[in-house]
């Protein structure tokens, strides 16, 4: 606060100094242009001035012979400066400005009526109290200063029509949309000569989180360009502190939107604070009032963020509203930003995964056994039992995989994940290898490649379309193809916190379990991770030093590709050191396969904001694909919205012409609570139902997050539109600077500059210095 006050006072003093020396405020010089209004041509004055300078130079060179050369040059220069200043004054410089015609223009005074303006951070009072002093009535300081020259119209930023003044404003707006609101107000003033807009705000814009925003309207940057194109200057006045002294804020909560039942669910919480560095505070996650997870955060230095991970069970099916809370600390300025909510949908459905294996081996047997009792994983297996003979396991009917590995996109893309075992690349056609890559990149499926003697580089996958998707570089077949490396699986830093690698209930127990697992073997030479890939497990060699990537993944197009380079994870079930009832192997593979199919899109994908305010329009978007997951235009898409009370509302989605396969609709929810949205699309002869999506309708709290005054945005709005930014302490300068607005009804004036005090000061200083130096040298 002290820093900001010092900067503001320095700016005010600079403005006063410029006005004292140059007659006019800096804003006038920024808006005007320099010209000359001499009674004779300017070139005549320039010639006479040069002649006078030459004459004085000659005189000093001839009549001051007892002076040193340096002194003569100094005296001649001082005389030249005085002559130049005199010549400039005789040339009659003027500042050409457009100025507003008195009482012929309208000025819109816009008051930010959002909830953040009720924050009490200004001299013990609320930000709204500052607005009341400035614009709370006809006798308020800012309105009185503006009314001397302009007709005034007062608006609320959140809409609702004109006001007499700001005294009746109630600061209850749920969102701040600076640019779009200013555009709307300028639309209301269309056809009216408008000198400018005065915005009283804390700059806490949160329009990017608006669930009802139309993607076609563009973001704040595009809206600012529209404001600039209207040539109506916006003069912004910042209200509030730029830095809070004491506050803890739940800045961000991250959790997957959807998970399968019994998957590892982590909520990542980011806290920022000022004034409580070094403190330890509890972080609590509640589900419908029940505490389902806790953690402890050690707060870092002021202004720095700390991230905390909280484990939450995912055993209850449906939409779960998780609320993350930290206790209100003594002396905190805002209590509302100590909690955030996030919506997680726990699904109970059977995910279909295709596992292709080239030979009977224990890895297949024990992997299938691990998920045998899992109702959420259907592991369809195609096993090459001998030459040209295949065994199909877990198929839905006699026709599935009857001809072997899928030969069409429609057949392969019906699965949500693919696991490749020890099966050489020559088993597939070139089209099938490309189809596998497209399964990941275009369909958005998950691909898991296991280690084995005929897998990865040893299986000839290097240089194929599949290798492009994999996270690790594949090396050539070694000379000793039978070389086997024994490795200890060790989580990396990213792996230690990854949901798929959680084998115990706590972080410490998880680290201990990984450290005591039996070593595995690998016959594949895996190269380094590709740019953008993440290594989750390293394989530490027998020497305890040498390591190789063992488990890695990367995003590839719409999906993800995973490599697990071990060939015998079944040892985690059958090794002599493993207890009979140990569930480590089952837990590992159930979580791995859940991760494999997480975030895999359906043919009808519903995209909707997680949260919305009552009465706000919510935009529903859908991406619709055909059976080959090519974007489908011309589909008939409808949806059903169900409120918490069971009331349903039908919506029809229209094709968004600018994007293939995208459909949109906007609806206004009735009541609060969690609303369910189910979409169905008719694509050709197929009727496809989308999975349920959910949106929480509640009074928005975004105004309390990042609630410190944001001068950067206010300066940007002013700069883009030709206005100026002012701190609240200098709000009255708006009326003085707006005189030079080029918008509305204006006249062009010429402001004389020849009599600027700065010119007189420079001339007196030059002549005085010349006289003093001549007297000192005895030639006065």
Q: Which segment of 184-193, 288-297, 676-685 scores lowest on mean pLDDT?
A: 184-193
pLDDT class for 14, splitting at 50, 70, 90? confident
Among 52-61, 135-144, 729-738, top mean pLDDT goes to 729-738
Domain boundaries, the chain: 32-99+749-776, 102-243+708-735, 247-347, 351-597, 604-702
pLDDT class for 358, splitting at 50, 70, 90? very high
For residue 544, the model assigns a pLDDT of 62
Question: Mean pLDDT, to the nearest integer, of 420-426?
Answer: 95
For residue 555, the model assigns a pLDDT of 96
Element spanning 772, H or E: helix 757-777
Question: Mean pLDDT, to the nearest integer, of 570-575?
Answer: 94
For residue 136, the model assigns a pLDDT of 85
Question: Mean pLDDT, to the nearest integer, of 375-397?
Answer: 92
pLDDT class for 212, splitting at 50, 70, 90? very low
% of the chain with per-residue pLDDT over 70: 95
Would you report the helix, strand and coil content of the chain in percent, each value rounded to 5? Answer: 30, 30, 40
Which residues contact residue 672 at a Cβ distance below 8 angstroms, ignoring those fewer than 6 apart?
614, 644, 697, 698, 699
For residue 64, the model assigns a pLDDT of 63
Average pLDDT, the chain: 89
Among 726, 740, 743, smallest CA distance to 134 is for 726
Q: Can you give 85-132 as a three-state secondary structure string?
A: HHHHHHCCEEEEEEEECCCCCEEEEEECCEHHHHCCCECCECHHHHHH
In this structure, CATH architecture of domain 351-597: 3-Layer(aba) Sandwich (3.40)
For residue 23, the model assigns a pLDDT of 86
Tell me the per-residue pLDDT of 629-661, one tens digit each, with 9 for 90 and over. Answer: 999 999 999 999 999 999 999 999 999 988 999
Question: Mean pLDDT, to the nearest integer, of 120-129?
Answer: 88
| 429 vs 10 pLDDT, higher one | 429
For residue 3, the model assigns a pLDDT of 47
pLDDT class for 477, splitting at 50, 70, 90? low
Question: Mean pLDDT, to the nearest integer, of 501-516?
Answer: 92
Question: Mean pLDDT, to the nearest integer, of 391-419?
Answer: 94
| pLDDT tops 60 at residue 481 | no
For residue 512, the model assigns a pLDDT of 94
| pLDDT tops 90 at residue 262 | no
Give pTM, 2 decimals: 0.79
pLDDT class for 219, splitting at 50, 70, 90? low
Would you identify the CATH topology of the domain 604-702? Immunoglobulin-like (2.60.40)
Mark 326-341 as b/e (b = at least 16 C-beta within 10 Å).
beebeebbbeebbbbb
> Which two tokens mark 397?
């009917």
Question: Mean pLDDT, to the nearest integer, of 424-434?
Answer: 95
Q: Is the CATH code 2.40.128.120 the one for domain 247-347?
A: no
Q: Are 466 and 508 in contact (CB under 8 A)?
A: no
In whole angstroms, what is the distance from residue 731 CA to residue 734 CA? 6
For residue 2, the model assigns a pLDDT of 44
DSSP E strand stretches across 541-635: 547-556, 559-564, 604-607, 611-612, 618-624
Question: Mean pLDDT, to the nearest integer, of 313-341?
Answer: 92
Positive or negative: CA dihedral 183, 189, 192, 193: negative
Q: Which CATH number fits domain 102-243+708-735: 3.40.50.410, 3.40.50.2000, 2.40.50.140, 3.20.20.80?
A: 3.40.50.410
pLDDT class for 152, splitting at 50, 70, 90? very high
| pLDDT tops 90 at residue 339 | yes
% of the chain with per-residue pLDDT over 90: 60
| 568 vs 32 pLDDT, higher one | 568
> Which two tokens mark 627?
């059976």
Region of 625 on the Ramachandran plot (φ > 0 left; ψ -120 to 50 alpha; else beta): beta
Q: Which segment of 11-20, 62-71, 527-536 scores lowest on mean pLDDT?
A: 62-71
Tell me the per-residue pLDDT of 85-111, one tens digit each, with 9 for 90 and over. Answer: 999 999 999 999 888 898 899 999 999
| pLDDT tops 60 at residue 445 | yes
Which residues contact residue 401 at a Cβ distance below 8 angstroms, ignoring those fewer than 6 apart?
380, 382, 390, 392, 395
pLDDT class for 248, splitting at 50, 70, 90? very high
For residue 370, the model assigns a pLDDT of 94
Q: Helix (H, G, I), strand (E, B), or coil: what is residue 415?
A: coil
* 247-347 against 351-597: fold identical: no
């Amino acid at each position: 606060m002290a820093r900001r006050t010092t900067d503001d006072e320095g700016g005010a003093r600079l403005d006063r100094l410029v006005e004292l020396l140059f007659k006019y405020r800096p804003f006038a010089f920024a808006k005007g242009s320099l010209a000359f209004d001499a009674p004779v041509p300017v070139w005549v004055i320039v010639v006479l001035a040069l002649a006078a300078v030459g004459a004085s130079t000659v005189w000093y060179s001839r009549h001051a012979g007892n002076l040193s050369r340096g002194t003569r040059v100094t005296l001649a220069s001082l005389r030249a400066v005085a002559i130049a200043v005199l010549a400039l004054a005789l040339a009659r410089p003027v500042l050409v400005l457009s100025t507003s015609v008195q009482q012929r223009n309208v000025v819109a005074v816009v008051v930010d009526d959002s909830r953040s303006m009720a924050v009490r951070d200004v001299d013990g009072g609320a930000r709204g109290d500052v607005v009341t002093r400035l614009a709370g009535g006809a006798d308020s300081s800012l309105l009185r200063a503006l009314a001397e020259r302009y007709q005034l119209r007062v608006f609320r930023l959140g809409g609702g029509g004109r006001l007499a003044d700001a005294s009746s404003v109630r600061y209850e707006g749920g969102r701040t949309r600076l640019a779009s609101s200013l555009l709307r107000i300028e639309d209301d003033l269309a056809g009216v000569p408008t000198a400018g807009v005065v915005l009283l705000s804390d700059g806490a814009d949160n329009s990017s989180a608006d669930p009802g925003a139309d993607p076609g309207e563009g973001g704040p940057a595009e809206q600012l360009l529209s404001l600039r194109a209207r040539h109506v200057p916006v003069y912004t006045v910042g209200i509030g502190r730029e830095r809070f002294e004491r506050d803890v804020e739940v800045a961000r909560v991250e959790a997957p939107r959807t998970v399968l039942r019994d998957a590892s669910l982590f909520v990542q919480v980011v806290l920022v604070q000022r004034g409580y560095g070094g403190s330890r505070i509890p972080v609590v996650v509640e589900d419908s009032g029940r505490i389902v997870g806790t953690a402890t955060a050690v707060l870092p230095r002021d202004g720095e963020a700390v991230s905390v991970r909280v484990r939450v069970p995912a055993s209850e099916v449906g939409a779960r509203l998780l609320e993350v809370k930290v206790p209100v600390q003594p002396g905190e300025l805002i209590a509302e930003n100590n909690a955030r909510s996030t919506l997680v949908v726990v699904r109970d459905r059977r995910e279909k995964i295709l596992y292709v294996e080239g030979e009977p081996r224990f890895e297949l047997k024990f992997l299938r056994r691990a998920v045998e009792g899992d109702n959420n994983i259907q592991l369809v297996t195609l096993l090459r039992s001998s030459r040209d003979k295949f065994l199909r396991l877990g198929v839905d009917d006699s026709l599935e995989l009857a001809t072997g590995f899928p030969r069409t996109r429609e057949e392969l893309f019906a699965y949500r994940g693919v696991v490749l075992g020890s099966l050489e690349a020559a088993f597939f056609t070139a089209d099938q290898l490309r189809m596998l890559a497209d399964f990941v990149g275009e369909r958005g499926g998950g691909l898991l490649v296991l280690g084995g003697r005929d897998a990865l580089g040893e299986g000839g996958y290097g240089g194929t379309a599949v290798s492009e998707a994999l996270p690790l570089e594949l090396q050539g077949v070694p000379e000793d193809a039978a070389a086997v490396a024994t490795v200890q699986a060790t989580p990396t830093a990213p792996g230690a916190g990854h949901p798929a690698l959680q084998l115990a209930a706590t972080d410490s127990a998880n680290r201990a379990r990984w450290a005591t697992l039996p070593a595995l073997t690998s016959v594949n030479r895996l190269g380094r991770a590709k740019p953008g890939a993440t290594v989750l497990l390293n394989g530490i060699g027998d020497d305890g030093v040498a390591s190789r990537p063992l488990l890695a993944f990367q995003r590839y197009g719409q999906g993800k590709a995973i490599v697990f380079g071990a060939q015998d994870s079944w040892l985690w079930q059958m090794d002599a050191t493993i207890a009979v009832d140990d569930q480590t192997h089952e837990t590992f593979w159930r979580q791995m396969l859940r991760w494999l199919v997480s975030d895999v899109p359906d043919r009808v994908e519903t995209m909707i904001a997680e949260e919305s305010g009552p009465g706000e329009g919510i935009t529903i978007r859908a991406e619709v694909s055909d059976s080959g997951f090519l974007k489908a235009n011309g589909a008939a898409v409808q949806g059903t919205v169900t409120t918490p009370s069971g009331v349903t509302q039908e919506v029809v989605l229209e094709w968004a012409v600018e994007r293939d396969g995208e459909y949109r609709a906007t609806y206004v929810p009735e009541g609060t609570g969690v609303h369910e949205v189910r979409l169905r699309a008719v694509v050709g002869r197929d009727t496809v139902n989308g999975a349920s999506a959910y949106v929480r309708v509640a009074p928005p709290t975004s105004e309390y997050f990042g609630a410190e005054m944001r001068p950067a945005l206010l300066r940007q709005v002013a700069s883009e539109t030709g206005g100026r930014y002012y701190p609240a302490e200098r709000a009255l300068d708006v009326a003085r600077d707006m005189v030079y607005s080029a918008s509305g009804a204006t006249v062009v004036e010429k402001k004389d500059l020849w009599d600027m005090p700065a010119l007189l000061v420079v001339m007196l200083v030059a002549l005085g210095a010349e006289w003093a130096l001549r007297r000192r040298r005895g030639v006065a």
